Amino acid sequence: MLKVTILGSGGAIPRTCRELVSALIEVDRYRILIDPSEGVTRRLEAIGVSALRLTHVMVTHLHADHVNGLPGLLATMLMLSRVTPLTIIGPVGISDLVPASVNSSFKVNLIELKPTDKVTLIDAADNVELRYVTTRHTIQNNSYLVTLKRPVGRFNPVKARELGVPVAYWRRIQMGETVKLPDGRVIEPSMIMDDIGAKSLSVAYTGDTAPSGSLVDLARGSTILIHDSSYLPSDVNEARSRGHSTCVDAALDAREAGVGLLVLTHISYRYGCEYHWDFLKCAASIFPRTLVASDGLVISV
């Protein structure tokens, strides 16, 4: 299962109805916090997730509203006597926000990502893969993709035995891989699997970005796309000058990428919660499978 919790859906300045932007992705045995904004430790506690349970912290960029909660989060881990390793991923410069004293208590695996316009693998372990690409903002912004590889359907051992497929190949076929047997035969998953479906679940998270072809490449076919939607179309000129997207931009990216669900987030302070439906109508007219993020929104697939 893959679970996304929106911890904050606002942009730059918090409001009573929208905390600063942040999200938690729970997938397999990983708990991945994206954009540790101010107050995020308290918001994690509110949903019953201790800072000690986080396995990864991923930062899209170094603007204050996306990263100011990191020092406090690490201090909380120290005070709670964390001993398990933590992976912190971010753009060049993220290391400056991680005190050296942290490593005296627990190991920090710090990964600084250089700018790239090509979708790039960061890490792969178990059935989870992390990728990124740099998108269009006023400073380096990394958009991320978290992918859970899963069996493509229900494995039918009777079919496998009838075809004479050695057991050593069963797991690879179950995970969607086409294999070549020692006798030269090629076995595709559809020849053995029942109830064939998607072989992965994935979440793309944009951070702050203007429309970007590299973002579409990253998000292509993803289950969920969580997209910067700072502005309504009437403020498109400001969106462009500040390196952000409108709800129209987000919907067009979602449609081009062929995603399963679009979630609009990073709503500008200027729009109160009464603008919820304006954002929804704007994007849904282009991409019907759209939600407007609200703090505490949970999506499980």
- Could you give the residue numbers annotated as active site? 65
CA atoms 227, 228, 231, 235: torsion sign = negative
Say if residues 142 and 60 touch (Cβ distance below 8 Å): yes
Q: CA triplet 15, 238, 289: central angle to 5 degrees? A: 65
DSSP 8-class letter at 138? S
Q: Which amino acid is at 200?
A: S
By C-alpha distance, which of 195, 199, 178 is closest to 187?
178
Q: CA triplet 75, 81, 84: central angle to 5 degrees? A: 100
How much is the CA Rg of the chain, to the nearest whole Å?
21
